[in-house]
Structure formats: structure tokens, C-alpha cells
Structure 1
Amino acid sequence: MDNKKPKQKFSIRRAFDNKRFTAIFSVVLAVALWLVVITVIDPNQSRTIPVKVSYDYDATAYKTQGLDLINPPSRTINVQVSGDNSVIGGLTSSDLLVYPDYSTVTGSGDYTLKIEIEKSDSNKKYEITTGNEQYVEVTFDKVVTQKFPIQVSAVGVEPAGGYYMDVPLCSPSEVTLSGPASEMSLIDTVSARVQLTEVRTESVIASVKLTYIDGNGKEVETKNVLSDYDQVEVTIPIYKIKELPVSIVYTGAPAGYDTAQLNAALSQSTIRVAGPAEQIDALSEYTCYVDLTKFKLGESVHCTVSLADGLRNIDSVQDITISFNTVGFITKTVTVTQIDIVNAAAGTTVSVPTERISSVTLIGKESELSALSQDSVIAQVDASPSNISVVRGQQNMPVKIIIPSSESIFATGAYTLLCDITTAAQEEAAQAPAPAA
């Protein structure tokens, strides 16, 4: 027995009895009728397009006057257009120009400008039907650019006992501001202000916002001034203080010479310095040097105070004067005929063609120097290998004047002798047999 159901024939009446079919058919029919209306019966339609106001269009109208727009407001205009739907249906905001009319701008100030609306492409066939005129409020001014040094102020900084605050530093040290002349003219200085609490024993580094100060010392509120830096890094150095005794070191003195007999006196027996604690703690004294080869009776020696990097001269002592009580001292000029060569290396020959050194100046106590014989003065040439720079030939060598019999007389001035020098290497080369022809 065959149980298959017979196929039913399509029936329009039966289809319209189906609610789903009826709903879909109604939508399709409505769209079709709408397309017929807008393309055949009434093709002219209208629509609204939001367009942002362009402040750059026709900007030469005010820029040729040296003016700039100051922080113009962001504004969107709803532009109504009408025309053939096949045309206006594809329009976007780029097809329309919306801009202020700058024709009334004649100088700095606030203006209410009419907004103009145009087609970007005048060949397109549609109409702009926006009704009421619209306006935008803007400000014009001349833009000024100026550099300002940053003035740092530290408030409430309290160094601990034995410490002091050095001049605050700022990085960068200057800032470039740009803005309308009306606002820039109010700014007298640019300040970086640091406010701290608590007692400090170490330097402080802080990130600080810049403030603008007028000529009366009051903060200036600006809306349109731009800066290449909004914040700067301020360092407030907190340094440890130490008082250092001043000592004297003599150079050029003969071995065994008692410098105490010169009775030196310092114009400043101590100096106060400051710096990072680890650097200060390593210091025990400040040294001034006196070169006896340049010493002159009756004259003082000036020691320029020079500190290592990172240290500060708190009392700003730039010069220390060293005076000498040399009452009873005299000078004497002698000719030295005894010349000794010392420390020459084996195989090195050093000879002095000159038999004497004239005009050697000695300083000492009158009681001893007056009785000193020229034969008691020796000119000594140090011929150590490190002092010789030639293999064979002549070289000027420094001379040291010594008085072995005295501990209170020394020579001043610098002396040299021209010496003949032959080294062992040169001697061997001279004695070597000539190569066979």
C-alpha cells in the first residue's frame, strides 16, 4: 500500500493565508513603491549633513595682517541640502565648505563672524537650503614668542646643623613661551617654586610646574600661552660644611732645609668649604704651595683658592696671602764652579763643557751667608736615564744648587747646563766593525 501524500499545487490564495509570507511581501512592496516615488514621481529630496567649521579656509584674510586665531571653538553646522536623490544621496561633509567670513576683521580683538556655506564642487547639481544665518565668536591677536630664564625659588627648606643650601638649579634653565600679545605682555618672569618641609641632610630633586609672574609679583592666569616645557626638574643642593686648616707645602727647598725659619704667616688660617658628605669627609686640610726657587725677600706669596669639582667655597675666599718675617736674611750672588754629575747609568757619559754657573742667587741668614765661601756651593746635574732624551749629542739639563754645609741657605731661580751626552748604545754602534764591501 502506497502511503505517500500527493504534492500540493502552488496557490496565491493559500500563500496570502500565510502570515509570514504576507509580512515579507508587504515590506518588499513598500520599498518598491518608495523607489518609484523618489525616482519617477518626485526625485527631489532633502537631507542634513553635519559639517565642522573650517578656520583654515581663506585664513590669509587675517594672517596678512599679522594676526592669529586664538583657541577657536570647535563647531559643527548641520547643513541642509536638497536635490536629486541620486546626487545628494552620495554627499559627505567633504563636499561642503563651512567657514567664517573674515572680511570684517581689521585687528586684534573679539569678533562675531558670519558662517559661510559653499559647495566644494560647484558643478554638482543640488541646493544648499540651510535657513537661518549662523555665527561664531572668535578672538584674534598677534602671536608673540619669547624666551624666559627660569627663576627658581625654594620655600621651607631647612638644612640640618652643619649643612647649608646652595643655589637651586633648574633643568632646563630657560623656557620658550608663545601666545597672544595681550597675554604675553602680562608675563614678567617664569618661576619654578619648590616648597618643602623637614630638616634636610641631602640634596633634593623635584619635578615642578612652571608659573608665570607679572611685574607686581602676582601669578598670571593664561589661557592661550604655550610653553615648550610645562614642568622642569629642580635640584636643591644640600651640602655638608667643613672648616679646613690651611697648610703650607714648600717646593724647591734643599734637603734638610728648615722652612720654619722663614716665619710664614697666613692671611687666612682656615677656610670653610661645603659639598657632598662623602667628598667633604675625605678632606683634612687645604694646602698652599710655596716655590722657594721663586722666593724673594720682602715679598708675599699669593695662593689662589681652587677647589675640586663639587665643592663650594662658602666664604668666597679667593686668595690667601702668605707673608714671611725674614728679618736678618740677606741675598748673595755667587759663581758656582763645582759641578757634579750624579745618577748616570752605566755606559752613559755626561760631561759639561762649561766650567762655571754665574749669578746664582742665594738667600739665608746674614750671619751665615756672609761667611759662606763659593766653594761650599755645588751645582748638581741629575743624569738619570729618565732625564736624558738623546742617544748622543747635547742636551740642556736642569741644575740643582745645594749647600751641604748649611741648613738655612737656599738658592732661588732656575738653572740649566748644556751637557755632552753619549750613551752605551751609541758607543757600541761606534765601535762595531764596518760591514764588508
Structure 2
Amino acid sequence: MASTPIRWAGRNLSTLLLAFILALVVWVSAVTAADPNQERTYQVQIEIMGQDTGIEVIGELPNQTLMTLYAPRSVLDQLTREGGAFRAWIDLSGLEPGARILPVQYQMPPDVSPVRLVEVNPESVEVTLEMLISKTVQIQTNVQGEPALGYRADNPEWSDHEVIVSGRASLVDQVDTVDADLDISGANNNIEMTLTLVPRDVDAKRVSGVTLVPDKITVTQAVTLRGGYRNMVVKVMTIGQVADGYRQTNISVSPPNVMVFSADPALIDRLPGYIETELLDLTDIVDDIETLLAINLPEGVSIIGDPNVLVQVGVATIEGSITISRNVEIIGILPELEAHASPESVEVIIYGPIPTLEILTDLDVRVVINLTGLAPGVYQLAPDVVILPGRIRLQVISPETVEVTIIEADTLTPTPSPTPEE
């Protein structure tokens, strides 16, 4: 009898095994339905690790990789919430300069399962490494141009004579010279300025991507007069006065300085600090003038360049202001209407050239109110001031508004004359 259960189990083993498998399938189906497997792609930042300080990466490496995972939805949701659970990097440790293909290495959280990595994109990247080097180069100083006529340039003084060029070996090797360019064209004073150094190759083309220490230098360039030459201020000589009611606003000369020369340097040294023009007559002028004037030169002295200078004189009227009284003129009223202004006259302050103010007539300045389109009634209106002379301007009108009463003409009842007594 004890062997009966064993014999029963033996006879029904296949049935029991099938029942277990069916139960397992039902359990897996239930779990999968509640938490289905999905694919999801994550963006992971790529780190650069192990880069030697004397090595530079040429070009741009991808800054992120895409990792596609297959896992239950709950696991994927957990990874999404944790955010930085993934790591991806490119290892440059111990690598020599040159080009190579390196794998993108990655790490997933060890405590998250079940999860399967489907794809990493990119799986590898091409990396080119180049050595960083430095070299010392003599600064090549270039002085260009000539100083102004009558001046000479002495040897310049430079703050530095060498520069350290640093960067990628392929770029540093291209640097043939480091130039400092100083332009003294037309200079008539000492020059002290800071110049930016420029690295150039053997074809004199600028080399970009290298670092210069220092990247700027200071230069001092002495510029002095030659013997027998002198730079002198031009003084315009005038006689007479502008017309009454006008004033002189300015006087200018171009060029303001001229270079003079004498074979006798002592004669040049005895001259005052200026040189005079011929006389310019300003008597009774009423407008701006522009004219060429010759320069009066002492005997034995000559001028370098044009012996004439351009002189410009500005003339303007003297302005003032006056107060005048004007009756208010009504315009634009319909024939069947009448209008009355209160007050009937206003004070007007105008300003402008005194000669014009002195000859104004009543017709030159009028005060007008336009009633076009207005119906009978009482209005507060601002009058217009009409000024004919173009250079006269309105300053103030007082009062600024006028009361205007508009009535129908036939409503005016004449006042009866008194009956004479017998």
C-alpha cells in the first residue's frame, strides 16, 4: 500500500508536469500584462577620461550617446526617475598622438533588473590626438610709412623682443615669424602705443589657433622736427566789423597749421609761434563767407605745400524778442452766423533777428480763429498765430484760449431808439 502514491505519481508524472507548465505560463502572462516589457531610448552624456595635459583632442567628439534598453515598464520608469543612473565615457589613458577608433564605454546601474541592452549609438568614435608644444620666437618689428613732411623718426624702442608660441604641434610648427607692425605715416608727434602680435607662416599668412605670451608689446617711437623746419599755427588777420544787427559767430582756417622751411635754422627759431594771413575785410557783411587767403611769409622763409589757406567766417543775426497786441480775426464762419471773441485782442511775444523785428507790419503777424463747421454756441478755442517772415518764431500767446460766441445773425434784436419828447 505504501508504494501506491509513488506508483500513482509515476503514472501521472506527465500530467503533473503539464499542469505546472500551464500554471507557470498563466503566472508569467499575468505579470506581463500588469508590467509589460518595452523598449526605451535614453540620452547619456559622454565623459572624456584620462586625457593627458600635454595632449589635445582634434575636432569635436560627440557629447552624448543613445542607449536603447528592453525591460519591464516599471524598471524603465525607475531608470527615468533616477536620471543620472547611466554613465558613458571614452578613455584616453596612455594614448599617444595619432588617429584611432575608440569604443564608447558604458555602465548601467547594477541594482536595476531585469534589463537588456539593445543598442548603443554610437558604439565607437574616431579620435585624433595631437601633442601640445611650445617654442620661443624672435619678434619681428616692422615700421611702415614716413612721418609728416619736415619730421624724422628715430629708432623705436620695444618692450619685448621674444615671444613664446604654444599650441598643437601642427600649428606651432607653421609659425615662422611673430610680427609687430607700427605705422608712422604722417606722424608729427612722438608715438607710444600697444601693438597686437601676429603669428605668420612662411607665406606671411596669419596662423590661427596658437597662444602667444606676451600677445601684445609696447613701442615708443620718437618723431622730431628736422633742422630748418617748423610747424606753425595760422592766424587769420581781419579788419572791419559785420553789419549792424549781426554778429560774427566763428572763424576757422584750414589747415590750422602749416610747415615752413628756411635754409637758416636760426631764422626759423626767431619766428613767433604763429604765421599771419593777408587781411580779410569783414566790413558790413551779413552772411557767412568762405575764401582763400595767402600767407604772409617773412623773407627767407618758404611754406611747404599750398601757400593759401581756406578761411570760413560765420555770421548770424542778433536775435531779440518783442511783445505785440493783435486783434483776433474770425474766419470760416457761415454767412448766416455771427461770432464774437472775448477778449477781442491777445498779446503775442515773438523772437528772431532784430533787423526783421524792427520792420514788422500788422500783416506780418496775425491771430486767427477758424470756425469752419461750428454750430451756434459758446466755445473755448486756441487761436493760431500766422507769422509771415520765416525767421521769426512764436514764443508766447496770452491768453492761450479765447471764448467765442456764435449766434444766428437774424436773432440780434436792435436796441430801439428813444422816442423824442414833444
- Normalising by structure 1, what TM-score? 0.37
- Which one has a larger percent strand, Structure 1 or Structure 2? 2
- Normalising by structure 2, what TM-score? 0.38
